[in-house]
Homo-oligomer: A and B are copies of this chain.
Amino acid sequence: MSQAQRIVLASRPVGEPKASDFRIEECAAPTPGEGQVLLRTIWLSLDPYMRGRMSDAASYAAPVPVGGVMEAGTVSEVMTSNNPGFAKGDIVLSRAGWQTHALSDGKGLAKIDPNIAPISTAVGVLGMPGMTAYTGLLDIGKPQAGETVVVAAASGAVGSAVGQIAKIKGARAIGIAGGKDKCDYVVKEFGFDACLDHRDPDLAAKLKEACPKGIDVYFENVGGAVFEAVFPLLNAFARVPVCGLIAHYNDTQAVAPKWAGAMMRNILTKRLTFRGFIVSDFAARHGDFVRDMSVWVREGKLKYKEFVTEGLESAPEAFIGLLKGANFGKQLVRVGPDKV
């Protein structure tokens, strides 16, 4: 039996998660039973939604139980297969979680063709974050040529795709990110029309300047000060896909945003649309997503940036950092080599 490791939820965080809310455990690699495959994790994806799974507040998915393995999407290799659908050496997209090895009965596994794109993109631009950007922007935001689209966390996995898809559709893309390096990258590499630093005390004024014709689509993934700067600039008929609220995930109590009292009135008088979604709501669009995004990536119209930490044991710290914007690009953990 080879050795395995897993990271479990040690305790439910109050506010910002701490290293002690996670526990790394050593165990024997499991043995696949009939119909099962043994998976080895290559890439572990860390994403903001996982903060919700650590909490037992009502949400769209059940929380991870205390003592349970942290959930995550992974890119994994089939090491042993007792399932006729999979062969040793297959690379698959799985929800194996924060661990080096996992068993699966094959349900929910999707094979990845390593010849199409680097396999890590299956949990990035060609996976869940990319599809979140694609469906939220196109199916809810519906940007038209010449309109202005604003998105925060613009150097991240979702935000970077949102702005680039907006550009592909002929809209202006204004990003918001943390710090000069990220902002420069968003403009120079991802081709946004402008990118503003959310730490700038003059964010509201600078955003207004960057959006002289107002904002038609605000892809909401942060909340907080960015929402407060965006809200008064929303044009009549603006659309706000609500994808995430990372600025609030560590809140210990609900805080009414500055515009709360005016929100319903503005929804009415400006005829705004606010619509929450999660990527699985648009499962029917998966074929369109794969077709469009793989072409855009291949043609260089849609770029991506990865931010990698090494080893499963780096995951807790990397995740805590992700919630504070310490990552610069799609946060990945390299759990194992591409080939053993």
Contacts and interface: CB of A to CB of B under 8 A. Distances in A.
Contacts of A244: 268
Contacts of A255: 261
B269 A275 contact: no
Contacts of A248: 264-265
A260 interface: yes
A270 B244 CA distance: 12
B268 A257 contact: no
Nearest to A220: B264
A270 B243 CA distance: 11
A263 interface: yes
A272 B261 contact: no
Interface residue tally on A, bucketed by range: 35 or more
Contact of A276 (B60, B227, B253, B267): B267
Contacts of A276: 266-273
B243 A254 contact: no
B60 A269 contact: yes
Contacts of A236: 60
A54 to B, nearest CB: 14
Residue in A262, A267, A276, A281 whose Cβ sees the most chain B Cβ within 10 Å: A276
A61 to B, nearest CB: 9
A105 to B, nearest CB: 28
A24 interface: no
Contact of A271 (B256, B260, B265, B275): B275
A262 B271 CA distance: 21
Nearest to A227: B264
A204 to B, nearest CB: 18
A242 B220 contact: no
A158 B294 CA distance: 48
A240 to B, nearest CB: 9
A237 B270 CA distance: 22
A262 to B, nearest CB: 5
B260 A60 contact: no
Interface of A: 52, 58-60, 220, 223, 227, 236, 242-245, 248, 253-257, 260-278, 281
7 contacts: A52-B269, A254-B265, A255-B261, A256-B260, A264-B274, A272-B274, A273-B274
